[in-house]
Structure 1
């Protein structure tokens, strides 16, 4: 459950609760992919252009390896390190790695992974920086300022929207499309992702924009920041409680 509260600076802050608003019991949390799921998914891998994961597990890495072998772009956006052996393997498998400087600044410039095509380090309100290790002429860091967000209600999920925008521009044809990308096209893809992140700030919740403006999934330019006028509606705890599916008290 995401809880949004006004901040002293005039914006908003959010935090997450793992307890049900009705019964107080713990809500289900992340569980790693099982071998059964891996076996069930493998036949579909050849038709996949992108494989994204943010937590390491043996099953997730097995699928990443299969996807990579089939020509898909493998993107790793770590939410934490977990098992260090698996974490290192994830970095070696990934074609794109994206992480926040506040959490994992020590990953910057990791040249040990031969697969790495694009490294993205987000810098919060200051934007992001990126580098292309395989670009022999210009392998160093490039910085992009954050896209303006004129209507900020909640920033939750903006990083995910940025990722989705980047992948939609660079990975539609798998790793071959990524290899064919120029510095200019990578820069444009990152700026597009930043625009989606800024657009998302106008809505409450990580998927608020999808529900309020479903046509934005088609990425119309008139729905991006600076050109759209969007509204959202808060729900109190009584209403929110009715929307929670809790295995402990759900009677449906």
Structure 2
């Protein structure tokens, strides 16, 4: 089976912000960020067909986020700009000696609250119907009624549903889990709430344990995958996003990326690619430092080495 020529590789929506990075107390850079933003723009830079579905403000920050997606090669027709809305901003404080970071929605100079992320609504959902029904994979890291509707539309078209929640919305989560193909979550943050529920579902789970590695689960089957050694740690921010980028890119490289016949052993190649990319990214400041400070050919070489170890 081959993908239809008009099929989009990835449609995604979720947490997308302008990251303002302060390293060791000094302002360093600002760039598109947030888990959804990082994953989608990275895949676009890897020359995947990517269509973000977002609701941003008709402001300078919204223009900057839109421009970064356009520069990366993403299809930006489903990014909606709204007058009277402010596009979201997130501050990251980085200690490069320890590689530790923290986040804040407050300006460090004026103490003003930055505008927060707002999910898509009915307008954005309706505009993206054709893309959702013709994508190979749908990605999200947030839930809302409209995002659940987007998941359902993509699922009805046969897409892989890749869901990476940072918190649980109990009013929507059970319905989302029922159509999720791959669920990636932190053991520390969400494990106590999700482990039993996910084990009883049909989703393949990727449960992360920080610097130690991650575990793949399907039902009650388990495979442990230790993290790759990291020679230099400047910033661990974005490591989880890079795991998702490597795995999604690997899935899209298969002749048929559908998961109906795949088990957790089949995903090991993609997980290895993502973990290698995450390890490389730790040597650079910023959630996508390896993309910003090296070129795409270098990133492709990292992913290719993992693919040689685990052929598709």
Q: TM-score, normalised by structure 2?
A: 0.63
CA distance in 1, matches of 2:133, 2:290: 31
SS at match of 2:171: helix
CA distance in 1, matches of 2:141, 2:241: 11
Per the alignment, do residues 50 and 172 of structure 1 end up closer, same or farther by CA in structure 2, a change over 3 Å counting?
farther
Q: CA deviation at 1:171?
A: 4.2
Q: CA deviation at 1:43?
A: 1.7
Q: TM-score, normalised by structure 1?
A: 0.76
Aligned equivalent of 2:133: 46
Per the alignment, do residues 166 and 95 of structure 1 end up closer, same or farther by CA in structure 2, a change over 3 Å counting?
same
Aligned equivalent of 2:231: 150
Aligned equivalent of 1:189: 270
After superposition, the C-alpha distances for 1:109-149 in whole angstroms (9 at most, x for unaligned) are 524434x2x1111111211111234xxxxx51111111111
CA distance in 1, matches of 2:265, 2:304: 23
> Which residue of 176, 186, 189 corresponds with 1:103?
189
Aligned equivalent of 1:120: 206
> Which residue of 101, 122, 135 corresponds with 1:14?
101
Q: CA deviation at 1:158?
A: 0.4
1:3 aligns with 2:89: no
Q: Is the 8 A contact 2:273 2:303 kept in 1?
A: no
Q: Is the 8 A contact 1:96 1:119 kept in 2?
A: yes
Aligned equivalent of 1:161: 242
CA distance in 2, matches of 1:176, 1:192: 16
Unmatched segments (≥5 aa) in structure 2? 1-90, 307-312
Aligned equivalent of 2:148: 61
Per the alignment, do residues 172 and 194 of structure 1 end up closer, same or farther by CA in structure 2, a change over 3 Å counting?
same
Aligned equivalent of 1:31: 118
Q: Is the 8 A contact 1:170 1:181 kept in 2?
A: no
Q: Is the 8 A contact 2:163 2:180 kept in 1?
A: yes
Please say which of residues 38-47 and 160-169 is displaced more in the overlay.
38-47
Q: CA deviation at 1:176?
A: 4.8
> Which residue of 188, 198, 205 corresponds with 2:286?
205
Higher strand share: 2
Q: CA deviation at 1:185?
A: 3.5
After superposition, the C-alpha distances for 1:43-94 in whole angstroms (9 at most, x for unaligned) are 212331111111110010000000011111101111111x312122221121
> Which residue of 172, 179, 185 corresponds with 1:86?
172
Q: Is the 8 A contact 1:72 1:175 kept in 2?
A: no
CA distance in 1, matches of 2:119, 2:195: 27
Q: Is the 8 A contact 1:5 1:14 kept in 2?
A: yes
Q: CA deviation at 1:12?
A: 2.5
After superposition, the C-alpha distances for 1:209-245 in whole angstroms (9 at most, x for unaligned) are 22111325751139989xxxxxxxxxxxxxxxxxxxx
CA distance in 2, matches of 1:86, 1:222: 35
Q: Is the 8 A contact 1:148 1:198 kept in 2?
A: yes
SS at match of 2:205: strand
